[in-house]
Chain A
Amino acid sequence: GESVGLHLPTLSVQEGDNSIINCAYSNSASDYFIWYKQESGKGPQFIIDIRSNMDKRQGQRVTVLLNKTVKHLSLQIAATQPGDSAVYFCAEKDSGNTPLVFGKGTRLSVIA
């Protein structure tokens, strides 16, 4: 079936560096994408979203890039901080009342 996955299960970065977390999706009908951050013992927390009519969206220290041609999504975190250490999930859905499909997650570790 259709699935959402991540290229790398773990990512370690130095504090202050930029982080890039990647995600591949396979459902060509997906038109809405979300990045979630999940800290240990907590539920996923919304970070940023993007719709398929855009290829880039920026938030506070975060940028999401969408490449529909290769079905690839990335999350860029600028000036990574220790508080950014968490598991990051991408999720996607197509139009209508369809459920979110989550990928397996990437663990980001920030080295002080």
Chain B
Amino acid sequence: EAGVAQSPRYKIIEKRQSVAFWCNPISGHATLYWYQQILGQGPKLLIQFQNNGVVDDSQLPKDRFSAERLKGVDSTLKIQPAKLEDSAVYLCASSLDAGKDEQYFGPGTRLTVT
């Protein structure tokens, strides 16, 4: 079974630029999550999708972050404009559905904002 795919794996941008990350969850998984993991800390949930609807985006900085999962499969997370404090690893995870607790994580995208 293929795992969660993410791209790019690494990205370096200057502050005030924009960036987008892509995630392809495990086939058949209805629930998709985006996490931000700052160095030395545990992942923090940014947004959770159930199919193509948003379940929880309470911790998403909506003034600069946006995410979509238009067809209920792939998802993109965008930051515009980026700030220095956005430097982190952005992890995508998926689970069979919202009631299934086991989440499978992708390898993440390491973002460096200079």
Contact = CB atoms under 8 A, between A and B. Distances in A.
B43 interface: yes
Given A32-B101, A43-B93, A104-B41, A99 B56 contact: yes
B106 interface: yes
Interface in A9-60: 32, 34, 41-46, 49
Contact of B56 (A41, A89, A97): A97
Interface in B69-114: 91, 93, 98-99, 101-108
B55 interface: yes
Nearest to A34: B101
B105 A44 contact: yes
A15 to B, nearest CB: 26
Interface in B35-52: 40-45, 48
B91 A43 contact: yes
B42 A41 contact: no
Nearest to A102: B42
25 contacts: A4-B42, A32-B101, A42-B108, A43-B4, A43-B105, A43-B106, A43-B107, A44-B91, A45-B105, A46-B104, A49-B102, A89-B42, A89-B43, A91-B42, A97-B55, A97-B56, A97-B98, A99-B48, A99-B59, A100-B45, A100-B103, A102-B41, A102-B42, A102-B43, A104-B40
